[in-house]
Amino acid sequence: MEFTDEQRSKLDKAQEIIGYRFDDEHLLLAAVTHPSAVEGRAVKYSYERLEFLGDSILGAIVATTAFERFHDLDEGGLTRIKVALVAGSTLADVAGDLGFADIIVFGSSEAGTGKRGLHSALENVYEAVVGALFLDGGVAAAEAFVSRTVIPLMTPELAFEPENPKSALQEKLQEDGITPTYKLVETQGPPHDRTFVAQVFAGSQGLALGTGRTKKEAESQAAKSTLARLGEFFGLGMDSEARAEKAAAAQQAKAEKAEAAAKAKAAKAEEKARRKSEREAAKQRKMG
């Protein structure tokens, strides 16, 4: 099979970015080809099957590295590290930084859509490239690429990040009486390759956005981003005067609420005393 000029150009750039020369360039072509570019053809010509394989290879490399690097972590900590590094948002960011957006072969149905669906495609292509490297050069080739691109993000701190960012955010905000809610604000990409965008809200205040291949993942990423930016959203980023005004307003509201409660309590006690007095007076009249 001869390569088109576009395919040849993208294959050359891809191999330069990956730092590996493929013996079977058709494997690499499949890894960087979006399903929209091969509609009507066998599934092996796009990244879908390689993505499946690459996901498992990537997970094994990350898990093995974490196991060998952090001897004092239990299963839970190692799992949190792995989950953080193989998350769709992490892989999309890594692939984007590498320049993968320039090597993906899109079909006409995706032409002109800009960033629509790109987040999901970047994640999928990264996993597919890992799969292609494994098939072409064995574990060593796949491991060299992952070690250069994802493993540098591995830190012991990841072991202590909450596995469920939504629960962690809810617990944090409820300290101030706030219950976060989530809204799906955008759906990107074609039906076979959806990317969802969700946003966290505190009442009517919109907080961080998150993207994912499922609504649940998008909400989880939005919660994670909000946790990282709580100061920005809830006042830690304000100047001292603004913080003082906000604190004073909160204190005043608290005082007014306490005053209203005290008045209500006094009124209730007064009413109770009045009724008691009336009952005693009525009793005296009856006895007289």
**Residue 127 bears catalytic tag:** yes
Q: What angle do CA 184, 231, 250 make, to 5 degrees?
A: 100
Q: Which residue has the tokens 């494997």?
A: 27
Q: Which of the following is catalytic: 25, 51, 55, 136?
A: 55
Asked if residue 127 lies in contact with residue 16, where contact means CB atoms within 8 angstroms, the answer is: no
Q: Which residues pair with 211 in a beta bridge?
A: 197
Q: What interhelical angle do 5-18 and 118-149 show, nearest 10?
A: 40
- CB proximity list for 229: less than 8 A, separation 6 or greater: 207, 208
- Sheet containing 195-202: give its strands across: 180-188, 195-202, 205-212
Q: Which of the following is catalytic: 25, 48, 51, 127?
A: 127
Q: Which residues pair with 184 in a beta bridge?
A: 198
Q: Which residues pair with 210 in a beta bridge?
A: 198
- Token couple for 4: 């088109």
- Token couple for 214: 């499922």
Asked if residue 80 lies in contact with residue 73, where contact means CB atoms within 8 angstroms, the answer is: no
Q: What angle do CA 110, 115, 117 make, to 5 degrees?
A: 60
**Residue 55 bears catalytic tag:** yes
- Token couple for 266: 């006094």
Catalytic residues: 55, 127
